[in-house]
């Protein structure tokens, strides 16, 4: 589904991604871990199409399409979803209005008829239940006045509504207490299908106890330096990142 080949990206002339290679097949969960500054968030921003970053080399294919050639909104409509590490607030724009416009844009792009108001509200009710998010969050303006945990839950709710093919969860666990973590992880797990895939970006093992990865990659100084199964995460939890840094010092 996603093939990243030798991806280099920089911001303000500083190169952050220095040759990423990664392949993700449908139904897989990949965890990306690594010390601060390794380029984890940059990777998710570049995949989502944030123009702050310039891709200097490499290619990314998403469902046989050249991802780097698409505008961010088209990448989204193709089925790419980013759960932001710091979701921004959009005062005055109601969640309902926002989601309905987003979903209908997706549907239009994929040549499906847009939902009517009642169809949409039904969908909202379903998904709210699925990811255990309560009405007071969805009745408000997008993220306005939400706590950190509420913002993360809202990201998962939007993911449930949009049903992406590839979801990138950028440090979804940061700022969450144990219960919130459980709710968020449950939501993600409920949305998993054999056709869609997830990239989980995280520092910590504990999220991976709930969202079990098929592959774990370590990102260090802009490159994926180690890939293995879920035991790698446990090893990192025990030993930290020093042994990785020593091994791959550049």
For residues 59-78, which are near other proteins according to CB under 8 A? 71-73, 75-77
Task: Determine if 162 is a binding residue for other proteins (CB under 8 A).
Answer: yes
> By CB under 8 A, what part of segment 99-138 binds other proteins?
101-103, 105-106, 109
In the region spanning residues 169 to 188, those forming contacts with other proteins, defined by CB under 8 A, are none
DSSP H/E element including 52? none
To the nearest whole angstrom, how small is the minimum distance from the Cβ of residue 10 to other proteins? Answer: 13
Nearer to other proteins among residue 60 and residue 233 (C-beta): 60
The stretch near other proteins (CB under 8 A) out of 14-22, 82-90, 114-122, 176-184 is: 82-90
The binder of other proteins chosen from 90, 112, 212, 228 (CB under 8 A): 90
Distance CA 171, CA 200 (A): 7
CA separation for the pair 184, 164 (Å, rounded): 16
Separation between Cα atoms, residue 199 and residue 42, nearest integer Å:
14
Smallest distance, other proteins to C-beta of residue 133, A? 16
By CB under 8 A, name the one of 21, 50, 61, 205 that touches other proteins: 50
Helices (H), the chain: 40-48, 72-78, 95-109, 117-130, 135-138, 148-162, 178-191, 205-210, 231-239, 242-247
Minimum CB separation from other proteins for residue 1, in Å? 18
Q: In what order do the strands lie in the sheet with 54-62?
A: 14-24, 2-11, 54-62, 65-66
Q: Which is nearer to other proteins, 85 or 197 (CB)?
A: 85
Which residues have C-beta within 8 Å of that of residue 121, sequence separation ≥ 6?
none
Of the pair 45, 208, the CB lying nearest other proteins is at 45
Estimate to the nearest angstrom the gap between the alpha carbon of 83 and the chain centroid.
4
**162 near 192, Cβ under 8 Å?**
no
Residues that bind other proteins (CB under 8 A): 48-52, 71-73, 75-77, 81-82, 84, 87-94, 97-98, 101-103, 105-106, 109, 141, 158, 162
């Amino acid at each position: 589904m996603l093939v990243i080949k030798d991806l280099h990206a920089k911001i303000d002339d500083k190169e952050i991604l220095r040759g990423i290679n990664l392949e993700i097949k449908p139904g897989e969960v990949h965890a990306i871990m690594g010390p601060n500054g390794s380029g984890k968030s940059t990777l998710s921003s570049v995949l989502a199409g944030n123009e702050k970053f310039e891709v200097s080399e490499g290619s990314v294919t998403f469902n046989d399409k050249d991802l780097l050639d698409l505008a961010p909104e088209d990448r989204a409509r193709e089925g790419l979803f980013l759960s932001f590490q710091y979701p921004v607030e959009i005062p005055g724009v109601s969640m309902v209005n926002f989601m309905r416009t987003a979903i209908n844009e997706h549907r239009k792009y994929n040549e499906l008829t847009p939902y009517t108001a009642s169809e949409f509200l039904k969908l909202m009710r379903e998904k709210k239940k699925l990811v255990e998010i309560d009405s007071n969050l969805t009745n408000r303006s997008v993220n306005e006045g939400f706590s950190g945990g509420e913002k993360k839950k809202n990201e998962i709710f939007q993911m449930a509504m949009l049903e992406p093919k590839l979801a990138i969860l950028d440090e979804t666990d940061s700022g969450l207490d144990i219960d919130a973590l459980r709710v968020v992880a449950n939501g993600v797990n409920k949305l998993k299908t054999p056709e869609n895939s997830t990239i989980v970006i995280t520092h910590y093992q504990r999220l991976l106890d709930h969202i079990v990865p098929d592959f774990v990659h370590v990102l260090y100084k802009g490159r994926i330096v180690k890939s293995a199964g879920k035991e790698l995460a446990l090893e990192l939890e025990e030993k930290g990142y020093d042994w990785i840094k020593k091994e791959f010092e550049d």
